[in-house]
Amino acid sequence: MSKHFPPNPQEYDDGDDLETITLNDEQGLSLNCYVEHSIEYNCNNYLLLQPIDLPIIILGRDGESENEDEVIFIEDEEELAEIFGNAKAVLGELNLTLKQTAFTLTASGELPPLEEEDILTLEIDEESGSISPEELQFLASFQHEEEKYEIYTPLAPLMFFARQDSEGDLELISPEDEQIQPILEELLFDELD
C-alpha cells in the first residue's frame, strides 16, 4: 500500500454530523475514521475515509549519512514497539495521547498552535518516480539508545480509499488501481466541492 499523509484536525468543527467507520488490520488493530464521501457502484459502496484522530509519523535521523537533513521514516514494527513508550511520554507533555492503531499511529488531543518554524518539508519519492513535497508539523523529539527521533503530523489530509461489499465487509483499495480510478476521481471531486 502506498504512503498516505494525514489531515489537519484543526479544520474540523466537532465532527458530530459525519458518519464513522472502523478499519481493522491483520494484527487486530483498528482505526476509527470519518466517512468523507461514499459512492455506490456495481453493488459495492466505495468510501473516502479520514482518521478521526491525528495521524502521527516518527522520523529518525540517519546517523551514518553525511547529509544532516536526511531522515528515515520509522516503520519497522519492532523499532516502533521499542520507542513507543518514549514517544507516548513526550506527546503526553503536549496533552496528546499516542495510540497504536491500524495502518498508522494516531494521537488524540488538541494540536499545539502551528508555528512557521515547526514545519518540515520533505521530498518524497513516489512509486511513479516523481517527487512530491510533504509538509509536516513538528510536535516533539526524544532520544532512545543514543538515536534521535522526531514526531510529526502531516498537514495534508491522510485519506484511505475502501470498498464495502453488500455484507458490510471493508477492503482497502490502492489508489493506483486503474480499474477504480474513475470512482476515486469522483470521490475526490466531491471532496473538493
pLDDT tens digits for range 25-78? 999 999 999 999 888 887 788 899 999 999 999 999 765 555 566 788 999 999
pLDDT tens digits for range 70-106? 788 999 999 999 999 999 999 999 999 999 999 999 9
pLDDT tens digits for range 139-181? 999 999 889 999 999 999 899 999 888 888 888 888 777 777 7
Return the C-alpha cell found at 40.
455506490
**Domain map (residue ranges) of the chain:** 9-192
Contacts of 12 (CB under 8 A, 6+ apart): none
Q: Are strands 30-41 and 44-51 parallel, antiparallel or unpaired?
A: antiparallel
- Whole-number Å distance between alpha carbons of 128 and 110: 35
- Whole-number Å distance between alpha carbons of 11 and 21: 20
